[in-house]
Amino acid sequence: MLRTEHGLSERRACAAIGLERSVYHYEPRPNVDGPLVKLLLELAWQRPEQGFGKLFRRLRRMGHGWNHKRVYRIYCALKLNKRRKGKRRLPTRCPTPLVVPEAMNECWSADFMSDALWGDRRFRTFNVVDDFNREGLAIEVDFNLPAPRIVRTLDRIAAERGYPRKLRLDNGPEMISVTLADWAEQHNVLLEFIKPGRPMQNGFIERFNRSYREAVLDMYVFQSLHESQRTDGKMAEGIQRRTTTQVTGPSDAQGIFVNPKTGNL
């Protein structure tokens, strides 16, 4: 308007309203990323598990020569690198109330613990107790304890005393694995899972874990895994003897089992 009505030059008109001449001549560039955006979204929808590397190689195999930096910029702008992690959904857990069984091998309880060696390397323990007299059946120690290792430990216990009717567990990945489920079905063992976030529904093994933590893990500094395994084997008997005596009385330690509720043999 200043140029047409007042006859001002371009320089004077831009100076009068405080506008840079480069801004006056600016023309927006057309969006050239449209085809790339559309193709990236299509490929990600077809194979949502693939990341940037595989998507970029698929683009190259399709004959597109887009630069990898340009493709990655658009890949991040579309938030394809922030995939939503699916929530692990568990079935409803309704365990039976925690009661003392009437005989051995009616119910075992199992749980994991963790600690560290002197060099800060973490190791795990897999603990198993019989709920009847809180007898410690196994303390398996290693850096990694996958489901097949858990099954072998349970089979080793069962070779000496038979299989339990029921096994009480939490909802850890090893506990809800198909390997353990197949083992339980093969040996007619009922897997009873506690509710998530309710560790006292597995109170017998939690009580054993506390004694094991105070008597072994918090009292010793282990230099190697072999040292921790050797110490665990010696201390497990003492923990088992003390826990059993506290539960059932001194007569139990001599092989006579006492009902803690009635006091009868």
Instruction: Give me the chain's average pLDDT, please.
Output: 82
User: Which pLDDT score, from 0 to 100, does residue 265 have?
Assistant: 33
The secondary element (H helix, E strand) that includes residue 135 is strand 135-142
What DSSP character marks residue 29?
A: P
Q: What angle do CA 107, 111, 117 make, to 5 degrees?
A: 150
> Do 75 and 68 contact (CB within 8 A), yes or no?
no
Q: What is the rounded CA–CA span in Å between residue 100 and residue 257?
A: 13
Q: Helix count (H) and strand count (E) of the chain?
A: 11, 5
Strands 166-169 and 107-116: parallel
Q: How far is CA 147 from the centre of its chain?
A: 13
| Model confidence pLDDT, tens digit, residues 113-166 | 999 998 889 999 999 999 998 888 999 999 999 999 999 999 999 999 999 999
User: Which pLDDT score, from 0 to 100, does residue 85 have?
Assistant: 64
Give which of 161, 153, 139, 158 is closest to 236, Cα–Cα. Answer: 139
| Model confidence pLDDT, tens digit, residues 28-75 | 777 778 888 999 999 988 888 788 888 999 999 999 888 999 999 999
pTM for the structure as a whole: 0.59
